[in-house]
Structures are given as C-alpha cells and as structure tokens.
Structure 1
Amino acid sequence: MLNPFEKIKIPPRIEDFIESESGRLRSIGGKSIREREIRRLRDYRERIDAYLQFVRSFPRVNQLHPFYRTSLEIASGSLDRVRICLSVIARNAVLAQRILAKYEDMIRRSPEERANLLMRSGFGRASSILRRSRDCVDWISKVSSELSKGKAIDPELPTIIVAGPPNAGKSTLVSKISSAKPEIANYPFTTKEIHVGHINCGVKVQVIDTPGILDRPDQERNVIEKKAVNALRNLEGLIIFLFDISQAPVYGAKEQLNLLREVKSLGKPLLVAFNKADVANEDIRKEILSKVDDKVLEISSEKGVGLDQLKGEIYNWLKSISQDPSALLDCGDIYIDPGRGPNHR
C-alpha cells in the first residue's frame, strides 16, 4: 500500500501560474486575430485544469485509514480547513474556466478588432478569480508536500510498533531487527518522524520506529509526540515498549511507568523490554520491575544482547494471529534488505 499522499499532483503557486501563462501569450498565434485570441484563452482555460487535478488527486478525507486521517490532521491542524480549501480551489478553478469559455464565445460573436481587448479582459477576470484561491493553494500545497514525504505504512500488514520514552534506544532496536536505518544518536529526541522497516517471517512484517513520548496530557504534546501517539492508537499490531534503565535516563521510573500504563490502556498486544541492561541503574531497574506485571525481557539493542529472545516473542505473536502458522519462518534468521528481497543472516 502506498502512502495515499504520494500521488498528489501539487499545482504551481497562483501568481507563478498567472505570470507563466501571461508569458505564453506571445507564443500562441493563429490564422486570424480572432483565432489567435480564442486560442490564447483556450490554452489558459485548459491549463487551469492543474488545480482541478490537484483536488481530484487529494485523498478523500473520510475514506482515509484512521492513521492517515490523523496524520493529515496533525500536519494541517484542521481537517475542516482542508475540506474548505479543497472546495475553494475547485470552485474558483471551475468559475475561472467558465469565464474564459464565455469570453471565447464573445470573441467569436464580436467584430475582430475587439478580439484582443476581449482576450485581455477575459484573462484578467479569470486571473482575479484564481487569486481568491492563493492562500489555500499555498497552505495546502505545503501540507501535501510534507505528507507526501512520509514513509508508506500499510495498515493491513502485521505491524510491530516500538514505543517508549525519549532516548530509550528505539531506533537502535528497529535498525537491529529490521531493514530500517533511522538516525541514531546518544541524545534524546533524535527521531522526529515515523520510520518504517521490514522483516520477513514467512510473511512480511513492518516494524515502526516512533518518536519518544513524554509523560504529559495529550493537549500538551507537540507535533512529534502526536505522530508517535497516532501510530500507537490507529495501527493494529504488537507494541514493544522499551524502558530505559541506563545510568542516566531522560525519565525516572515513575514517569516511564506512567507511559507504560497509557500504552497498556490501548488494549493491544504488548511486549515489555528493559533496554540498556548492560549499563543498568539497579535502583531504577528494581523499582520498575517491582511494579510491572508483564513478562519483561532484558536486552541491549546496541550490543545485541537478548535480541534472539525478543525475536522469538515476535514469532510467537505472529503464530497467535496467523491463519497458517506453518507458513511462518524464524524471524531471527531472515530479514528484508530493501531492493534485494529476503536475505539470510
């Protein structure tokens, strides 16, 4: 499944478009003055269709998967504004085309010496109408461009979502168990976008690296956090929640436990792991362990410690949801290398 925003046909800015069309006039001729001016208006009218193609190529908001609909809401700030702007752009494009068609007809029925004057009048009126869409075109083009760059996520594929507080090692883990190659650094908030990798366990499984989330109410979360929460809430699959039990985590035990409770409230399959176990702060480790009811894996994504056991848990989860468990393969043995398909480690 493609990112539904990838195929949006983003149109030119209104002023750039009008300037370009004005410059094209001299290159358009005809056998007579009347024919020339009609052809000029017709060319303008046909090229205005770029704005209608943009509206037609934009996904229907109500038909989007909840993940992508929420992604659009996060990027735009308002789905209502998206709907209104698309309507404004389409309405003004159609009205401008009708004006041009009307002036083409007027030129046909008027004395030839009035043809150039009518062409200029029609071009000016149509341009004035198009300018009414200027702010909407600029704004929604920016939103569309941002969304078109997002990684394609297929809500129908088995999905693993790696979540947790900032600097918990999520990106490192995703890079070790899948084909994804997110940016990795030893400081918090490195991940600002959703990253997607894949593994092949007999079936293709997508693995999603989410930005770190902070222990605070939804209304106080920033755009980066909202992207992570969107994936957790609107994609079905297995959530791997990483605790950071290193010597100096961004969050202490209490805040990390609060985040786990929020994630558990979603009611989705959950795998809990203590990351950075090789450099553990024993006080934090013991405090969290005493308050977690779930089975806990202790791993080090960076050193590769415990990853075989984690992959085994992923395999067990896949068996529990698979209609044909016999078709599954050991997730630890096979990964997907982008562009070259399945490869054995």
Structure 2
Amino acid sequence: MLRTPFERVPVPPEVDDVINLVLNRLPKIQGKTVKEREINRLLTYMNQVEKYKDFVSKFPRVEKLHPFYKESVEILADIDRVKICLFNTSRTADLAMKSLREGINTIKTKDEKEANAIMRRTFGRTSSILRKNRECTSFLIKVTVQLKRMMAVDPSLPTVIVAGAPNVGKSTLISKLTRAKPEIANYPFTTKDIHVGHMRMGERLIQFIDTPGILDRPNTERNQIELRSVNALKNLKGIVVFVFDVSPLSYYGIEDQYSLFKEVKELSEKRTIPVINKIDEKDDTYYNEVRARVENALEISADKDIGLEELKKEILKMLGTSLDRGLLDN
C-alpha cells in the first residue's frame, strides 16, 4: 500500500499531557523497595520522553523530500521553523533523558530516605526542560497531524492532474474515470485537498489527481486549498486535463476560466487536454466562447457519462499508453 513520507511518523502527546499522564500514574507505580519504586517512576517518565526522540528521528529529512511533498510542508508551515523545531525538540528530549538518568543514578547512590525527594526534584527539573520547548513541540505536532492526513501520491507514476475553477465538475470526472470517491457537492471549494484515484491500463498504473479549484488571482493571494493544486501542477509529472464549465449555472464566467486555463498551462508546462464539461446542459453563449478561444477541446458530461471514452483515449494517447482494461480501486 502506497504511503506518504509522513504516514509512519509517530505523533507524541502534547508536553503538558505527557507531564500530567506521568503525574497521575505515579501513585500506582510500586517496587520491592523504596528506591526501586522511585526509580520505576522515573523510568516511566523516560518511556514517555522517548516518544519525542522517536517522533523527531522518524520525521523525514525535509531537504530529501520529493518537491511535491516538500512544497506540501511549505504550504502548511515555514520550513526553516520546522527544521529549527525538530532540532530543538530532539535536543530537549536529550536533556530531559539526561536529567532522568542523573536522577536514577543519584537515587541508587543515596540513602533510601532521600529517594522520594530526589524523584520529585528530578520530575520537576525534567518537566521544566520539556516546558521550555513546549511551543516548538506543539507546532511540530500540529503540522505532522495535518501532513499525515494527506492522501498518498506517487511522484513516479504517470499522472493526470484534473484542474479548473471551483465547481466545474472535476470531482465527478475523477469518480467516473477511477473508483476514487471524492466529496461531490454543488458549491465551490467542496474539494479542499488533493484526492487520488487510479486506473490500470494493461501493466501500467495511471494516477489521477483531483485538485481543489483555483481562482484566477495572483499566487500570493491564494489560500492553502488553492496552493495544494498549484503544488500538484508544478511538481508532479504527467499531463493536465483542464475542465471548463459551460452550463448556465456556472459560478465563473468564461473569461475567468480561460484566464485560469492560460495560467495553468504556463504554470505546469505540461501537455494539456482542454475539456468542455456539462455539454448536456450547455449555455450556447458560454459554449461558443470556449470554442472560439480553445482549440481541440473535447466535449463531455461527466455526470451523464457523455464523451468519457473519447477522453480516456486522448489521455492514454498523450501518456503513450494503449487502452487495455478496466478500473482499479483507489
């Protein structure tokens, strides 16, 4: 099963949650002697701190990520801050572990009557160390949780990126060409993240990317939803299927859609198949305007399964793959 680089990163609890968890467990932790009991309590703390070491060690090296995944991090957070916080969290975990080891060694060498006081001082010192880096640790946890929600994209696969303005029928098209089940609704920005579907053609697996809708505006003014689409267009190899909506209920006029079409072609520098969608309910003025501006546009109705076989053949022709068989589940 294809995984994202972040899927196996174990997300630790927030710092205050770890401290409270250990604190609540202390009365239940026992030992054969007083020293053993207090050492066991600090060992329990060590087991929790170790989660931060594991978290940092399994977080992918940002500079080694594929450009698509690296930009996915950049969309969510400043990469320099991510790197700094990874370093600080690792160093904080090392200092906390050192504090706990020193406390355990001190308990072993001191009188049994001092064991509980040493444990308490060690617990307090270790908690202070962790709290000093609490903001950085919390930042990393939040970023990682969002990255783990990403659908897995294989940058090595031949890819069809379905692009267009919001609510032009991209998700419906993806659901018909593959067996992916993106959310579909009759309002803009229903798709808020990248969705992935696959089609198997003989021995070849083709990856389809359902991108969130993009508005025709400067990149600096785009929100995170739109930037995810821009990321796919820039950093995944393959072709683009650009969808125009020519229905009377289209949210965006042809001028806006055409302007976006030109920008997508410039941005992605990929071969592009223009598609006129909702042909079964077309507005003649919208339809004629697209026809006048865009050469070789295919006509489809994703909802009514009109023209989809022709679109598949054109996709395969552009990808250099011959039509063979069926669909593959996402």
If the TM-score is normalised by the length of the shorter chain, which range does it land in?
over 0.9
Give the C-alpha shift of residue 211 in structure 1.
0.9
Residue 94 of structure 1 deviates from its aligned partner by 0.6
Q: Which residue of 2 aligns with 1:86?
A: 86
1:283 corresponds, among 276, 282, 285, to 285
User: Is the contact between residue 197 and residue 329 of structure 2 (CA under 8 Å) also seen in structure 1?
Assistant: no
After superposition, the Cα gap between the structure-2 partners of 1:264 and 1:21, relative to the gap in structure 1 and judged at 3 Å, is same
Matched residue, 1:252? 253
Distance in 2 (CA, whole Å) between partners of 1:145 and 1:288 is 42
The question of 1:270 aligning with 2:275 is answered: no
> Counterparts of 1:166-315 in structure 2 under 5 Å?
166-202=166-202, 203-265=204-266, 266-292=268-294, 294-315=295-316
SS in 1 for 2:327: strand
Instruction: Give the Cα–Cα distance (whole angstroms) in 2 for the partners of residues 223 and 13 of structure 1.
Output: 25
| RMSD, aligned α-carbons | 1.5
Identity of aligned residues (%): 48
Report the Cα offset of residue 176 of structure 1: 0.7
1:155: Cα distance to partner? 0.6
Q: Which amino acid aligns with 2:326?
A: I
Task: Look up the match of 1:343.
Answer: none
1:27 deviation in Å?
2.9
Counterparts of 1:188 and 1:40 in 2: how far apart (Å)? 54
Tell me which amino acid in the other structure corresponds to 1:22: L
- Counterparts of 1:315 and 1:268 in 2: how far apart (Å)? 15
Q: List 4+ stretches of structure 1 deviating above 3 A.
A: none
1:6 to partner: Cα distance: 1.1
Aligned residue in 1 for 2:142: 142
Deviations 1:16-45 (A, max 9, x none): 111111222233333332233223223322
Tell me, in whole angstroms, the C-alpha distance in 1 between the residues paired with 2:43 and 2:304.
Answer: 66
How far the C-alpha of 1:70 sits from its partner, in A, is: 1.1
Q: Is the 8 A contact 2:163 2:210 kept in 1?
A: yes
1:67 aligns with 2:57: no
How far off its partner does 1:291 sit? 2.1
Count of residues in Structure 1 that have an aligned counterpart in Structure 2:
327
Asked if structure 1 preserves the Cα contact closer than 8 Å seen for 2:180 and 2:329, the reply is no
Counterpart contact for 2:238–2:319, Cα < 8 Å = no
Does 2:51 correspond to 1:50? yes
1:57-89 Cα deviation digits (max 9, x unpaired): 21111111111111111122x111111221221
- Post-superposition offset of 1:253: 1.8
What SS does the corresponding residue of 2:217 show, helix, strand or coil? coil
Rate the CA distance shift 1:135–1:287 in 2: closer, same or farther, 3 A.
Answer: same
Give, as a single letter, the amino acid of the residue that structure 2 aligns with 1:66: P
Pairing 1:2-41 to 2, within 5 Å after superposition: 2-41=3-42
The amino acid that maps onto 2:150 is: G
1:263 and 1:109 mapped to 2: Cα distance?
A: 70
How big is each residue's C-alpha offset from its partner over 1:212-255, in whole Å with a ceiling of 9 and x where there is no partner? 10000001111111111111111111100011111132221211
Cα distance in 1 between the residues matched to 2:90 and 2:285: 61
Instruction: Please state whether the residue corresponding to 1:337 is helix, strand or coil.
Output: coil
TM-score, reference length from structure 2: 0.94
Distance 1:28 1:183 in 2: 48
Structure-2 separation of matches of 1:312 and 1:33 = 76
Q: Give unpaired runs (5+ residues) of structure 2.
A: none
1:187 deviation in Å?
A: 2.1
Alpha-carbon shift at residue 138 of structure 1 (Å): 2.2
Counterparts of 1:37 and 1:226 in 2: how far apart (Å)?
52
- Between stretches 157-166 and 246-255, larger displacement belongs to 246-255
Q: What secondary structure, in the 3-state scheme, does the structure 2 residue paired with 1:191 have?
A: coil
